């Protein structure tokens, strides 16, 4: 189930409505690429994540990797929609790249995110929380939520890590060894549904 758009030429308006489609339907795919482009969120690795030339850490520092527990299925849809709306509203060039309003885009995104359903052992189920594994749009909103969480977490920390590099939900950090436990607690209280695990260097 996803979205269908209806253009009304006589009133120059556009309506987004719910429609039954397969998840790989042309309309769903087109909307995914549209929302991905408009939100300016890319999931390909860039040079900022490459660690070549990294100087050795100090004796009081430690290298740590953090990972989110089941990221996609733990993303609160209301939070994802709120962050997406903020991102679109803050884009001064949005009306130059699409005729759709922020309201239309968020409505379409909400329909997609709330339409996850699957069959298991002959029974049909509807996902009632989180984003669906395998939905292309899930990766977009999950990354948006992670960007928001990392910004809030790092900006509210008195002594942040010396190095923080993230790719979706995989994070590499160099920080003071004495602050490690406090930092993990801080991450896990930033957004209650998003919980981090960590692995320290050996």
**3-class secondary structure, 100:** coil
pTM of the model: 0.78
pLDDT in tens, 152-179: 999 999 999 999 999 889 999 999 999 9
* Cα separation of the two ends of the chain: 47
Residues in Cβ contact with 186 at an 8 Å cutoff, skipping those fewer than 6 apart: 153, 156, 157
pLDDT in tens, 48-104: 455 555 665 678 999 999 999 999 999 999 999 999 999 999 988 888 888 889 999
1 within 8 A of 135, measured Cβ to Cβ:
no
């Amino acid at each position: 189930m996803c979205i269908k758009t209806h253009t009304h030429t006589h009133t120059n308006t556009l309506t987004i409505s719910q429609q039954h489609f397969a998840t790989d339907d042309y309309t769903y795919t087109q909307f995914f690429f549209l929302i991905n482009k408009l939100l300016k969120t890319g999931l390909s690795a860039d040079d900022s994540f490459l660690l070549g030339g990294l100087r050795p850490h100090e004796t009081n520092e430690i290298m740590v990797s953090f990972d989110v527990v089941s990221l996609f299925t733990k993303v609160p849809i209301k939070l994802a929609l709120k962050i997406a709306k903020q991102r679109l509203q803050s884009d001064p060039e949005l009306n130059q790249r699409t005729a759709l309003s922020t309201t239309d885009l968020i409505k379409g995104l909400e329909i997609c995110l709330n339409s996850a359903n699957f069959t298991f052992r002959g029974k049909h189920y509807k996902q009632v929380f989180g984003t669906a594994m395998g939905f292309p749009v899930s990766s977009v909103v999950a990354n948006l939520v992670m960007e928001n969480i990392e910004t809030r977490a790092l900006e509210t920390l008195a002594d942040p890590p010396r190095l923080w590099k993230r790719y979706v939900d995989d994070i590499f950090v160099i920080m003071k060894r004495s602050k490690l436990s406090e930092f993990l607690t801080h991450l896990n209280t930033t957004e209650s549904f998003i919980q981090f695990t960590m692995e320290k260097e050996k």
